[in-house]
Amino acid sequence: MKVLKEYNIAEKLFCITTDNATNNDTMAAYLELKLDEEFGVKWDQETQHLYCLAHVINLVVNDFLDYIRDKTTDCKNILANIRTIAVATT
């Protein structure tokens, strides 16, 4: 708000881009309220608060890689158990 006031650009703010942290949602809600109260600017946090696509993709890829690592570990454990059983029964 300080920067928006200092540079007289509150009415020019189109959107903001942040990561998915909940504190950014809180900040966007506060920004919507304060822009209306102090400047009469209608700014909608639902449509003008954008989440960084690169960050979202990074989170998805990391979750996917964790899933693959877990499945790979499961497969290795299954194969090790099969080998153990095969050796024990021969």
List, for residues 54-71, the tens digit of each pLDDT value: 988 898 888 888 888 877
Q: Are 11 and 45 within one domain? A: yes
For residue 89, what pLDDT band results from cuts at 50, 70 and 90? Answer: low
Q: Are 7 and 37 within one domain? A: yes
Domain extent at residue 17: 1-51
Choice among 16-20, 26-30, 40-44, 74-78 with the minimum mean pLDDT = 74-78
Residues 79, 13: Cα–Cα separation, whole Å: 58
Q: Are 20 and 4 within one domain? A: yes
Q: Determine the Cα angle at 44 with ends 39 and 50, to 5°.
A: 120
Q: What is the pLDDT of residue 42?
A: 96
Q: What is the pLDDT of residue 90?
A: 56
Q: Are 44 and 2 within one domain? A: yes
Mean pLDDT of the 77-84 span: 72
pTM here? 0.64
